[in-house]
């Protein structure tokens, strides 16, 4: 891939987005790093990235960002759809407003950005779209609604898009990391139960929270860094023939295999063992 193609990376305020923008800039691509607020992107500017405000839930913001890149480079050469929003809880409890917000960021914004960059890519008969999914889009964890739902949607969308645009010289890549130690892990949205209401899932949610803490503590085996994922994205973008999907880390590679081998009953039993749920 020509290093003259401009890269547009979403969600660069921290974690995978920040590390990816740095990796692409160091690889020689003109890189536009974006976030809702660009105040804390000084490190990326110092590394040579151009900065743009971009809110993937705002149509005008997305259009302005794509137009800015196209005005200077003719088209967006590489789009990395990384911006994401966390959120989860038992299905019975999770507010539908939270479900809508997570889908708005993780799915609808991603779809719209693809739509905005594709005309320019088609005109040039080249381009690469990288969608950042998750192992949660391969194996759903308990209390994973709605975050895991959105990552399943990203996997489906990517599989649909890939053959649609390949005749125009456009490559579509799905990157599915396992557990990543980033600030995003602590950013899952919480919600309040109605005043005076009991929470029948309190013990379950405490077990899930304890499991997440154990899995992401310093020194925990199998936990990725943002740089691990960014390195895979950079390699995929620069590959002559990139794979359709990259499962990053042992969790993303092994959990789906275990799920298939155990079947529904075996997997549910494993979840009950890993995440105790003492019912009062």
Helix (H/G/I), strand (E/B), else coil: 265: helix
What are the CA-CA distances from residue 100 to residues 71, 89, 90, 144, 259 (Å)?
33, 14, 16, 15, 28
Sheet holding 170-177, edge to edge: 50-53, 31-35, 7-9, 78-81, 127-132, 170-177, 245-248
- Alpha-carbon distance of 56 to 82, in angstroms, equals 10
Residue 108, token pair as written in the block? 């609808």
Q: Are 84 and 11 in contact (CB under 8 A)?
A: yes
> Exposed, middle or buried by CB within 10 Å (0-12, 13-18, 19+), for 47?
middle
- Alpha-carbon distance of 186 to 208, in angstroms, equals 13
147 is catalytic: yes
The backbone torsions φ and ψ at residue 8, rounded to the nearest 5 degrees and listed phi first, read -115, 120
- Widest CA span in the chain: 62
- Alpha-carbon distance of 179 to 274, in angstroms, equals 16
Which residues are identified as catalytic? 147
């Amino acid at each position: 891939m020509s290093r003259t193609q401009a890269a547009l990376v979403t969600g660069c305020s921290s974690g995978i987005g920040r590390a990816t923008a740095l990796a692409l800039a160091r690889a020689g691509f003109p890189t536009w790093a974006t976030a809702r607020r660009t105040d804390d992107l000084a490190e990326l500017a110092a590394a040579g990235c151009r900065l743009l405000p971009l809110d993937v839930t705002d149509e005008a913001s997305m259009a302005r960002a794509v137009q800015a890149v196209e005005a200077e480079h003719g088209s967006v050469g590489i789009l990395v759809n990384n911006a994401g929003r966390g959120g989860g809880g038992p299905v019975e409890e999770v507010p539908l407003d939270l479900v809508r917000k997570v889908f708005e960021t993780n799915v609808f914004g991603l779809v719209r950005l693809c739509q905005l960059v594709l005309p320019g890519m088609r005109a040039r008969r080249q381009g690469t779209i990288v969608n950042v999914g998750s192992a949660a889009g391969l194996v759903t964890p308990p209390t994973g609604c709605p975050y895991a739902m959105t990552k399943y949607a990203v996997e489906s969308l990517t599989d649909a898009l890939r053959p649609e645009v390949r005749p125009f010289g456009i490559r579509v890549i799905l990157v599915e990391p396992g557990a990543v130690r980033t600030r995003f892990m602590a950013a899952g949205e919480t919600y309040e139960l109605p005043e005076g209401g009991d929470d029948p899932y309190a013990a379950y949610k405490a077990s899930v929270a304890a499991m997440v803490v154990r899995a992401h503590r310093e020194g925990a085996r199998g936990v990725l860094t943002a740089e691990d994922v960014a390195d895979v994205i950079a390699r995929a973008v620069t590959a002559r023939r990139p794979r359709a999907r990259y499962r990053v880390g042992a969790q993303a590679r092994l959990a789906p295999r275990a799920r298939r081998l155990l079947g529904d009953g075996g997997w549910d039993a494993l979840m009950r063992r890993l995440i105790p749920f003492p019912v009062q």
